[in-house]
Amino acid sequence: MSYFSDLALQFIDGRWRPGSGTWEIIDVNPYSGDRIAAMPVATVAEVDEAYRAAERAQREWSQVNPYARRLVFERALRVIEDREQEISEFIVEELGGTWLKAGFELALSKDMLREAMQLPLRAEGRILPSPVDGKENRLYRLPVGVVGVISPFNFPLFLSLKAVAPALALGNGVVLKPHQNTPIVGGTLIAKIFEEAGLPAGLLNVVVTDIAEIGDALIEHPVPKVISFTGSDQVGRHVAQVAAGHFKRTVLELGGNSALIVLDDADLDYAVDAAVFSRFAHQGQVCMAANRVLVDRSVEREFTERFVRKIASLKVGDPRNPETHIGPLINANQADAITAQVDQAVDAGATVLLRGKTEGTLMDPTVLTDVPPGAPILTRELFGPVVLVIPFDGEDEAVKIANDTPFGLSGAVHTGDIERGVRIAKQIETGMIHINDGTIHDEPIVAFGGEKHSGLGRLNGESTIEAFTTLKWISIQHGRSAFPF
């Protein structure tokens, strides 16, 4: 696709240009292995240029009438709608996403832009009373200034837009560093969309680079006041430590090890459908994916038979084929790492209900049960098409197993009794959990985020306003104050 080559550049201060680094990030189709583009990396100097450009442009942007500011996001939405087929092809080509996944990601992205349109009008201040006669307290909600955004490879368009669009809408400048495996869909494509939508030059900058080139420069730089990071808990911990050392706020959306719980009164056919989608959407490369399916022992056999049968029917292969359910993992290293985790669990005594082969970046689905207590695979995030079926006896044991992980992002409970499901859901240590549904959900006005190692802070709706603005107290004394000396 020629458009990929057109976007294989840095976007700094409103100009498209190559990076000045001495080596290149090679963008590769994960299914075919074909080279999509080669991009010379941005250097520390170019990171500085990007932040300085955002800082300059933000001063004027913050003064733009909110009604005028929102028009940019209306136009950005139209750009996506007009180019939906082309963008879907990008997702299939660069991510190895299936057509179903591309449609899902585009729908989420469009909803996020619709929400961003509203944000300029919702950053409200307040007037508060004072115990001092004649005094007026005003609380102004202001942009933080510049936001640094580091986005992941799995849903790069949506998860970049999820931070970039609201931060811009609320009057900030942004520097975005996409993941090196998805530099176009997660980075320069977004710059192109906003350029076509008429966003003023310099407000959004995209630097395609790697920590091997810039170290922690993106986090340590003095300009950004907030760092928004989506990715693994290991890297998130490092981002939090570095940012805290420079007195920066962070929003961390990290990994998960979600449990989908099937109680004895659940609709089993429906629970199977929810569990299969929750585990195998985008090859399992979803932070909210149901790594573990917990099933009441009284219905375990019946559920498991149906579950394994449906998984075995999933088509694995070329993501360009509309009939494909499971495409490639992002790279061969990822596939090898997941395969090694499965081998380790089997060697430790886990029972194999379904075992697929691994060929390059393609992995057939694998289902394990009877995983020995203490096995590492039980508590880790599994970013691939592998699922663990875990039986339990009674609600208390289900809650204990679900919580036996350092992560706490999402989850689900399937039951015929809604209030029973809610009672259990309240005991699960997650930021989000869903009754009689899948584990993979994100809605633009509902707070999104995790507990424990799954992150810090929330995004969406009011939470996004809190994340990307700051409060300033201005008091006014009408009349004269009395001072003690």
Give the model confidence (pLDDT) of 215-271 as tens digits. Answer: 999 999 999 999 999 999 999 999 999 999 999 999 999 999 999 999 999 999 999
Specify whether the CB–CB gap between 28 and 116 falls below 8 A: no
pLDDT at 5: 72
Task: Count helices and strands (H / E) in the chain.
Answer: 16, 24
For the annotated catalytic residues, the residue numbers are 253, 287
What is the torsional sign of CA 261, 330, 189, 236? Answer: positive
The amino acid that residue 164 corresponds to is V
Assess whether pLDDT exceeds 90 at residue 6: no
pLDDT range class, residue 2, cuts 50, 70, 90: low
Secondary structure letter of residue 87 according to DSSP:
H
Secondary structure letter of residue 180 according to DSSP:
T
Mean pLDDT of 460-480: 96
DSSP lists the bridge partners of residue 173 as 146
Direct distance between the N- and C-terminal alpha carbons of the chain, in angstroms, rounded to an integer: 75
| CA–CA distance, 11 with 323 (Å, rounded to integer) | 36
> Residues 442-447: contacts with CB within 8 Å, 24+ apart?
442/108, 442/158, 442/162, 442/288, 443/111, 444/111, 444/112, 444/114, 444/115, 445/115
Decide: helix, strand or coil at residue 355: coil
Decide: helix, strand or coil at residue 483: coil
What is the torsional sign of CA 381, 335, 156, 320? Answer: negative
DSSP alpha helices (H): ranges in 33-147?
Answer: 44-61, 66-82, 84-95, 99-118
Specify whether the CB–CB gap between 367 and 353 falls below 8 A: yes
Nearest CA to 369 out of 303, 288, 430, 284 is that of 303
pLDDT at 1: 45
Q: Which domains does the chain have, with CATH numbers?
A: 2-254+454-473 (3.40.605.10), 258-435 (3.40.309.10)
Enter the pTM of the model.
0.96
Q: Exposed (0-12), middle (13-18) or buried (19+): which is 24, by Cβ within 10 Å?
A: middle
Backbone angles phi, psi at 225, to 5 degrees: -100, -20
Mean pLDDT of 378-388: 95
